[in-house]
């Protein structure tokens, strides 16, 4: 039983967390009038490059829902993930920080089966990324000012999220479940039907598109296997489009569609071989459509946007001051920054296979730095071998039947530097790094890359288990968050954690949703009280207290 210390009201107020709405300087106010605490919805599909949508050109399928949504939205043509795979990118989204700077860069750190771990080096341990001091997932800041936050349902952040991050995170999580219909909400809907795994999981389902009519990218041979596999993938995209329509219809039926800010995007580029996991544009570039009352319907922007900007942008729109720990910048809202000059990306361990590649782009020219030049781009990832097209490409490689552009994936080594003009060479086949005409651009982007590492750091340069042992203080397992101090006087409770950067939550019965602690709250003696302390990356502590 924890002893409850007595304290004065001044201490109560000083130790509480204060998250306030962002004040707008009247002298700096723009013509845009942003709504106060608007409802915000993210519709996220997995593993899809922009071109599959009619609004971005199309590859043979039909996407009427998203094409219509694009006509009502601002379309971004230069939006990028920070990795060509989901978990590192999702870590960047939820924290607003580059995954390489916080140790969330390896794919993945949690959730591997015992069989999968047999392929990993000796001594490898699964772990939850320990975030730097002062860093939280951005939905927690929304909860602090009264938002109802839901995630349906994938997290995959490279760490176990504290229970204070979401009101709901499950397959049934929905803005409809908020207790007060006037409460503002932030809701994510993750659509998994376009994930790479669905190419083989849905192999026996009917196709919605004729294989003879689909576009075959030049990284694949134009043959029956490529066409059928792409038709399967495009069919999944078409079914995803229908699911988007169902989410939109729910908002319309509730009378919320017109005034809700809606983001639609993909968590990185295509899930197909030589797309996913790569940091060529085909692995990084995403569709991004944003509908909001203050945005011109059917408009288009070439502004550079990175996944690290998504969290800051939501906080800007919601009226929360962007925390200093965030590395991204808002591209909408009262705290909107000047357009960024570069976007950055990284590739590190993929499952059991190690590599270290970095990239920087100005929207046209792409610089890639390979730190492990003795390794090919291709990695023998067992999971990907479920895709019939991957097996087919390997067979053609063994038979010497791939074109030079297709065969390049299997080269035994990589150049130290690569430079591409993605405007004239969108598939990034022609490396300009050795062309003296582009020496100035090469030097510019090389410097941008090195400056980025100097400014934010890059934990990819450190052996993975060494990084983890440092987080754990040399122990064999993650530390445990220290229990929160529980201070009580005159019916008010204050909470404080001795562990820096721990999230603190509480609830008054075992069935309640965990509330984010921000300031002292009322509590009657004799009631139950459950207190949570959880620094991300550490083990949480939960205590139950009853005062009689």
Catalytic residue set: 86
The one-character DSSP state at 207 is P
C-alpha to C-alpha distance for 347 and 353, rounded to whole angstroms: 11
Q: Given the structure tokens 């109560």, which residue do they identify?
A: 12
CB atoms within 10 A of CB 351: 21
C-alpha to C-alpha distance for 231 and 327, rounded to whole angstroms: 39
532: closest CA among 514, 508, 510?
A: 514
63: closest CA among 234, 233, 219, 216?
A: 234
The one-character DSSP state at 338 is P
Q: Given the structure tokens 């839901």, which residue do they identify?
A: 150
Burial of 219 (0-12, 13-18, 19+ CB in 10 A): buried
Helix (H, G, I), strand (E, B) or coil at 383: helix
Residues 158 and 152: beta-carbon distance below 8 Å: no
C-alpha to C-alpha distance for 495 and 140, rounded to whole angstroms: 17
Crossing angle for the helix pair 224-253 and 64-71, nearest 10 degrees?
A: 60
Residues 54 and 62: beta-carbon distance below 8 Å: yes
CB neighbours of 118 closer than 8 A, spacing ≥ 6? none
Tell me how far CA of residue 131 lies from CA of 106, 459, 533, in angstroms.
14, 12, 15
Query: What length does the chain have?
Result: 548
Burial of 493 (0-12, 13-18, 19+ CB in 10 A): buried
C-alpha to C-alpha distance for 297 and 47, rounded to whole angstroms: 26
Query: For 2-11, b where at least 16 C-beta lie within 10 A, e where not — what string?
Result: eebeebeeeb
Residues 531 and 515: beta-carbon distance below 8 Å: no
Burial of 133 (0-12, 13-18, 19+ CB in 10 A): exposed
C-alpha to C-alpha distance for 331 and 316, rounded to whole angstroms: 9
∠ at Cα 257 (53, 29), nearest 5°?
A: 95
Residues 359 and 371: beta-carbon distance below 8 Å: no
């Amino acid at each position: 039983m924890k002893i409850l210390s007595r304290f004065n009201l001044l201490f109560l107020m000083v130790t509480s967390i204060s998250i306030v709405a962002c004040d707008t300087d009247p002298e700096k106010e723009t013509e845009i009038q942003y709504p106060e605490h608007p409802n915000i919805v993210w519709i996220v599909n997995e593993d899809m490059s922009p071109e599959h949508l009619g609004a971005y050109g199309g590859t043979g399928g039909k996407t009427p829902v998203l094409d219509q949504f694009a006509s009502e939205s601002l379309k971004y043509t230069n939006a990028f993930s920070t990795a060509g795979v989901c978990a590192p990118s999702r870590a960047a989204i939820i924290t607003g920080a580059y995954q390489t700077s916080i140790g969330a860069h390896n794919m993945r750190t949690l959730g591997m089966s015992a069989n999968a771990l047999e392929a990993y080096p000796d001594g490898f341990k699964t772990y939850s990324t320990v975030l730097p001091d002062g860093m939280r997932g951005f939905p927690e800041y929304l909860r602090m000012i009264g938002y109802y936050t839901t995630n349906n349902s994938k997290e995959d952040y490279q760490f176990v999220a504290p229970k204070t991050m979401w009101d709901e995170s499950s397959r049934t999580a929905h803005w409809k479940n908020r207790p007060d219909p006037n409460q503002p909400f932030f809701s994510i809907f993750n659509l998994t039907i376009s994930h790479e795994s669905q190419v083989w999981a849905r192999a026996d389902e009917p196709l919605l598109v004729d294989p003879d009519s689909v576009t075959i990218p030049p990284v694949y041979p134009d043959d029956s296997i490529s066409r059928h596999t792409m038709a399967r993938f495009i069919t999944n995209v078409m079914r995803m489009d229908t699911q988007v329509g169902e989410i939109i219809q729910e908002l319309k039926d509730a009378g919320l569609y017109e005034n809700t800010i809606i983001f639609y995007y993909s968590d990185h580029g295509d899930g197909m071989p030589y797309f996913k996991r790569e940091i060529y544009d085909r692995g990084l570039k995403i569709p991004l459509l944003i509908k909001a009352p203050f945005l011109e319907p059917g408009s288009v922007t070439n502004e550079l946007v990175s996944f690290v900007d998504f969290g800051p942008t939501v906080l800007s729109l919601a009226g929360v001051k962007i925390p200093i720990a965030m590395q991204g910048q808002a591209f909408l809202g009262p705290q909107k920054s000047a357009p960024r000059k570069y976007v950055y990306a990284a590739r590190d361990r993929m499952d059991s296979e190690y590599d270290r590649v970095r990239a920087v782009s100005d929207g046209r020219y792409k610089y890639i730095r390979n730190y492990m030049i003795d390794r090919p781009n291709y990695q023998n990832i067992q999971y990907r071998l479920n895709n019939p097209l991957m097996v087919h490409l390997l067979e053609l490689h063994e038979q010497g039947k791939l074109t030079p552009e297709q065969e390049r994936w299997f080269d035994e080594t990589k150049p130290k530097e690569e430079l591409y003009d993605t405007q004239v060479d969108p598939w990034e086949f022609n490396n300009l790094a050795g062309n003296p005409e582009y020496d100035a651009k090469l030097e510019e982007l090389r410097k941008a890359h090195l400056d980025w590492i100097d400014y934010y750091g890059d934990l990819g340069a450190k052996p993975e288990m060494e990084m983890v042992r440092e987080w754990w203080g040399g122990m064999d397992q993650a530390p445990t968050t220290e229990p929160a101090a529980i201070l009580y006087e005159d019916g008010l409770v204050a909470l404080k954690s001795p562990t820096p950067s721990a999230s603190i939550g509480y609830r008054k019965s075992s069935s309640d949703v965990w509330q984010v602690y921000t300031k002292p709250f009322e509590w009657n003696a004799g009631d139950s009280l459950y207190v949570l302390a959880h620094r991300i990356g550490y083990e949480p502590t939960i205590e139950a207290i009853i005062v009689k």
